[in-house]
Structure 1
Amino acid sequence: MAYGSLFLANPGLPRRLASGGPFNAADKATFYGGDHRGYTDYPALPALPA
Structure 2
Amino acid sequence: MVKFDHAADKEKVIIGGPWLIFDHCLAVSHWSPEFASPNAKVERTIVW
More helix by share: 1
Q: Identify the structure with bigger relative contact order (alpha carbons < 8 Å, sequence gap 6+).
A: 1
TM score, norm. by length of structure 1: 0.23
* Structure of higher CA gyration radius: 2
More strand by share: 2
TM score, norm. by length of structure 2: 0.23
